[in-house]
Amino acid sequence: MSDVRILGTGSYVPDRVVSNDEVGAAAGVDDAWITGKTAIRERRWAADDQATSDLAAAAARAALESAGITADQLAVIVVATSTPDRPQPPTAVYVQQHLGAIGAAAFDVNAVCSGMVFSLSAAEGVLARSGGHALVIGADVYSRILNRADRKTVVLFGDGAGALVLGPAQEGARVRHIALHSFGELSGLIEVPAGGSRLPLDQDAVEAGLQYFAMDGRAVRRFVEDHLPRLAKQFLHEAGVVPDDISHFVPHQANGVLLDSVFAGLALPRATMHWTLTHYANTGAASVPITLDTAARAGAFRPGDLILVAGFGGGMAAGFALIEW
C-alpha cells in the first residue's frame, strides 16, 4: 500500500509516577533488585477514574494533531488492548465517543503485547477497501490486573497509550512490510485465567486470584530469545533488506535485560535500539507506539531511515513491521 503513510504519532502516560521502591514494597523486592533484573526505574499507573479508553483517546488526540487532521475525517479506529474498559463493547467505540469520530468503524484487536503490529495490519486492510484515514492505537492499563505481591509481574508493567494516524499521502512514513506470527501451543505462558467463557469470574475464581495476570517468566524469555532473532532475520529477507540497511530498532518494551540479549542476537550493526521502559516500564500494546512517538518527537528519525518494529508476547505471538521514515 505505497499510497498509505503514517501521517502522525502521539502518546500519553498517566500523571502518577510509581517508583521501584513503591511497587517493590508489597512484592518484597527493592530498587536495586528491580533495576538489575529489568532496567526499569519507574512506571506510570492510571488514576482511579481513568480507563483504557481515556488513555487511548488522549494519545489519539496527540496523533491527530501531529497528522493535521480532525476526528471526523477518520474511516476506522482500531484499538489494540488486552485490558479493555469492559469485556464488551469494544474499547474502540468509547474512543470514538471521546473523539467525536462520527461515522468511523471502531473495533478492538487483542494480540496482547504484539497488538499494535497486528492492528496496523488490520487498519491497512480496511483502508485498502475503503480509503480514507485510520487511527491505530495501542493502550493498556495493566495496573488493574496485577497481583501486587507477585514480584515476577508487578515490577514489569506500567499504563499508557500510543497512536498512529494512517492515510493517503505522497509524503510521510511508509509501512513497507508486515509479518504476523502466533504460537497457540504456548498460550499458557502468559494469561489472565479467569473472566472469560472458559472460566467465569465468580467468587471462587477471585478467591484463588485467577483474575490476575500470570506469566511463566523463564519460558517467555526462552521463547523470545529462541524465536525473535530467527523470525526477524526471516522477515528482513522477505522484505528485501539486509541487516546493514536498518537504522533503528523499536521493540516491545518487555524488559531491558531481555532486550539487550535480543538486540545482540539480531546483529543489526548500524541500528540504534530505542527504549522507553526505563521510565514507563512495559506498557503492553502501547509500548511500541509510545516508543515510536518518543523517538519521532526527539528527531531521531531521518527521511529514508528504515525502522524495524518488533512486537512479541502473549499468545504467544510476534509481529514485525518495516517502516521507511
| Residues carrying an active site annotation | 113, 252, 282
Q: Distance between CA 276 and CA 256 in Å, rounded?
A: 10
Q: Distance between CA 265 and CA 233 in Å, rounded?
A: 10
| Cβ partners under 8 Å of residue 322, min gap 6 | 175, 176, 177, 178, 235, 236, 239, 241, 306, 307, 308, 309
Q: Distance between CA 190 and CA 112 in Å, rounded?
A: 9
> Collapsing DSSP states into helix, strand and coil, what is residue 281?
coil
- Give all strands (DSSP E) within the chain, no chain letters: 4-12, 16-19, 42-45, 74-80, 105-109, 133-141, 159-168, 173-182, 190-191, 214-215, 248-251, 272-273, 306-313, 317-324
> Collapsing DSSP states into helix, strand and coil, what is residue 220?
helix
H, E, C per residue of 177-192: EEEEEECHHHHHHEEC
